[in-house]
Amino acid sequence: MSGAHVRLETTGRVATIVFDNPPLHVWNAVMTRGLTEALDAVEDDPSVGVVVLTGAGDRAFCAGSDIPEFAAMRAPGEAVAKKLRPQQELFARLASFPKPTIAALNGHTLGGGLEIAVCCDLIVAEEHIGIGSPEIKLGVFPGSGGTFRVARRIGAGRAKEMQLLGEPVDAATALAWGLVNRVAPRGDAHATALELADVLLRRPPRSMALCKSVIDAAHDLTEEELIEASLTASDEAFTSAESAEGVQAFLAKRAPDFLAASRTSENTIEKETPA
């Protein structure tokens, strides 16, 4: 990884990406490179089934951008070229990552930290934390996808409340609004994320990726286009080794082994592919 600001820790089939830029893990160019390298490392690693993102310690998941960097981006186009476009590209990659992702918010999650969290499939927040988009207080607004990704999760009205007022909400409010999926006791965000990961690891990986692709397209395609996308994805799912295993396991009244089915399918494809 790029320095020590982003660490990659793997336990079993779960990879945890840890933001570690004390004290509040503010986001900078080094961390953009670090997260890119971490995603590179786990995307094609067949031993990794789920990715969890969290912050080191207990103060913050990520408290937003490294504000002193702004001083070097005053000319027109500089902020976009040096900061926002690289972040947009990275965060879009995270949002469409083929493996399930979980954000474990173990401390305050502000600005860019929220923009990263809403790129993940599932979000766990500890009960004591604040979650918000305070950028408007600096004369800017969430420029790395936070506007539309937050709105997609909680609706335009609540997104505007968070981003125009710039005030954080507590975890209970975030849960009620649908911004997060689970609220955990203080200190338990990562453990709760691992519990969710354990469930996801027992689900069929390719079918989950196909399901994600259709859900993620919900705000971008027409209903007719979504129907066709769903049918195409469903055809692949229904004809997969994962589906065959799921049906056989159901009829035999046993737990399915989707990982073995997925590996068998990959081996078959490799053998059938001409050299």
Give the residue numbers annotated as catalytic, written as ranges.
Answer: 115, 135
Residues whose CB falls within 8 Å of the CB of residue 117, separated by 6 or more in sequence, listed in order: 53, 61, 103, 105, 109, 123, 131
Place of tokens 């961390």: 31
Tokens of residue 111, six digits: 């600005």
CA separation for the pair 174, 193 (Å, rounded):
17
Q: How far apart, in whole angstroms, are the C-alpha atoms of residue 6 and residue 132?
A: 22
What is the sign, positive or negative, of the torsion defined by CA atoms of 53, 56, 57, 62? negative
Amino acid identity, residue 187? G
Structure tokens of 163? 């981003």
**Which amino acid, 211?**
C
Q: Count how many Cα atoms sit within 13 Å of the Cα of residue 57 in the half-sphere of its side chain.
A: 12
**What whole-number distance in Å separates Cα of residue 37 and Cα of residue 44?**
12
Task: Return the residue matching tokens 């981003």.
Answer: 163
Residue 20 dihedral angles phi and psi, to the nearest 5° = -140, 75
H or E element in which residue 77 lies = none
Supply the DSSP symbol for 56. S
